[in-house]
Amino acid sequence: MKHKFFHQYLPLICILSIAVSCNEKKKETVVESQDNSRPNVLVILTDQWRAQAMGYAGDPNVSTPNLDELAAASVNFKNAVSGMPVCSPFRASLLTGQRPLTHGVFMNDVQLDTNAVTIAKVFNKEGYDTGYIGKWHLDGHGRLQNVAPGERRQGFKFWKGNECTHDYNESVYYDNDDPDRKIWDGYDTFKQTDAAIDYIQNRNSSENPYMMILSYGTPHAPYHTAPEEYRNRFDPAKIQLRRNVPDNLKEQAKKDLAGYYAHIAALDDMIGKLIQNLRDSGQYDNTIIVFTADHGDLLGSHGAYKKQQPYEESARVPMLYHIPEKFKIDTGERNALMNSEDIMPTLLSLCDISIPNTVEGLDYRPYMEGKEQIGDVTLLTCVQPFGQWNRVKYGGREYRAIITQQYTYARSLEGPWLLFDNKNDPYQLYNLVGNEGATSLQDNMEKLLYERLKETGDEFLPGLEYVKKWGYTLDETGTVPYTN
């Protein structure tokens, strides 16, 4: 408009002068607009939420309307897995894009190397604000102790977090540079959501995009500590169990699942609240949202609880990528077996940030754009069984497993252990190891497993060999002892 106005009323020499000036300003504006249009990144990480426990995944026991809506508008990696299905290893892989035998966090309650090239450090260099809220579990200095500002926070600048706690009411956290212990007032899932909303709303005054991880502690056990309003929604007697829960665990599993679903219902409400605030702040259409979990929970399936094992309820996790429309990436279900270490390179690629050569995971952006086929096969690993999977008490074992879009094959140090046809046997009730009709399949999966182990440099040694290499101290159950 200015150009037309001056064209009509000023001499030609003025027109030329002003046109040059306007063009320069226009260029500056375009550059600034491009910077401002860089996408925000919000990773919503939950703890011990198995992929099957979703309304959109067909669970008959729970309604998750907000996540169902998010899934409908997202790329849904329905076969995504946690490469080492336990807390700290997943988190270290998320932050580094590396597999556990590379970053060394193959057990809980050990410290991730503070020299690691992490997702926060990379985003910082690209001018992003970085923030972390909630459970960390990567510091190894005691579960209720402060993760001190500086290198131990692995590049995250904003911080309202705790190392690890499963007390979800009046739980501990630390606020940025304040060394004093703080307490979330009430159910921490609610308060952490509010903290994330405050962070998001404050971004409107910042010229920089942000990358934030919101790390909830729920729906991890204890299962019966959600607010009463949510616990009252679920009657254990009406819970429909998965077919692989044995009779001796059915009563307990129904009771625990009722509490588990109560946590999930509360989380779904909070995720809906969070997304609505993204919309209200005008950031939703320019924010990449990843929703996932660090591992699942057996909750009675296969006669066990919690994680570490290669069964579907333990290893398969939700993995939604809500990607702004400007990327022109189709939404919907995808079959690829996205793994833990793939999240970092995929997010960097979506933000047009170079992927460090330290990263071992796959960049799934070309796959989502339909330009490349990857993710037909991936690995599951247990380096050293511990905790609820410790060798002494529960017969835990080291294993390496290969997963395709149809099969799961696991081998322990003693030999072939599990072989399931997940399409024809989705509850993994029939172990095909040693079955005469599956000899060729077992041989092929064994070959595929060792090919991948060779590719990744995994010698598949006894767990204590790796424990010795990394200098970890274990108790009598093979677990790294921790304090509060």
Q: Are residues 61 and 167 in the same domain?
A: yes
Q: Are residues 57 and 94 in the same domain?
A: yes
Q: How many domains does the chain have?
A: 2
The last residue of a domain, from among 373, 406, 427? 373
Position 14 scores a pLDDT of 37
For the chain, what is the HEC assignment? CHHHHHHHHCCHHHHHHHHHHHHHHHHHHHHHHHHHCCCEEEEEEEECCCCCCCCCCCCCCCCCHHHHHHHHCCEEECCCECCCCCHHHHHHHHHHCCCHHHHCCCCCCCCCCCCCCCHHHHHHHCCCEEEEEEECCCCCCCCCCCCCCCHHHCCCCEEEEECCCCCCECCEEEECCCCCCEECCCEHHHHHHHHHHHHHHHHHHCCCCEEEEEEEEEECCCCCCCCHHHHCCCCHHHCCCCCCCCHHHHHHHHHHHHHHHHHHHHHHHHHHHHHHHHHHCCCHHHEEEEEEECCCCCCCHHHCCCCCCCCHHHHECCEEEECCHHHCCCCEEECCCCCHHHHHHHHHHHCCCCCCCCCCCCCCHHHHCCCCCCCCEEEEEECCCCHHHCHHHHCCCCEEEEEECCEEEEEECCEEEEEEECCCCCCCCCCCCCCHHHHHHHHHHHHHHHHHHHHHCCCCCCHHHHHHHHCCCCCCCCCCCCCC
Task: Please report whether residue 12 resides in a domain.
Answer: no
Burial profile 202-214: b = 16 or more Cβ within 10 angstroms, e = fewer: ebeeeebbbbbbb
Task: Please report whether residue 16 resides in a domain.
Answer: no
Catalytic residues: 87, 137
Position 13 scores a pLDDT of 35
What CATH number does the domain containing 214 carry?
3.40.720.10
Task: Please report whether residue 396 resides in a domain.
Answer: yes
Domain of residue 300: give its range: 40-373
The last residue of a domain, from among 345, 373, 401? 373
Position 36 scores a pLDDT of 52
Compute mean pLDDT per 10 residues along the chain, 484 residues long, and list them: 37 36 35 59 98 97 98 98 98 98 97 98 98 97 95 97 96 96 97 97 89 98 98 98 98 98 98 96 95 98 96 98 96 98 98 98 98 97 93 87 98 97 98 96 98 97 96 91 87
Task: Please report whether residue 444 resides in a domain.
Answer: yes
Position 33 scores a pLDDT of 31
Q: Are residues 47 and 148 in the same domain?
A: yes
Task: Please report whether residue 17 resides in a domain.
Answer: no
Give the integer Cα–Cα distance in Å for 271 and 84.
Answer: 26
The last residue of a domain, from among 373, 395, 427? 373
Task: Please report whether residue 53 resides in a domain.
Answer: yes
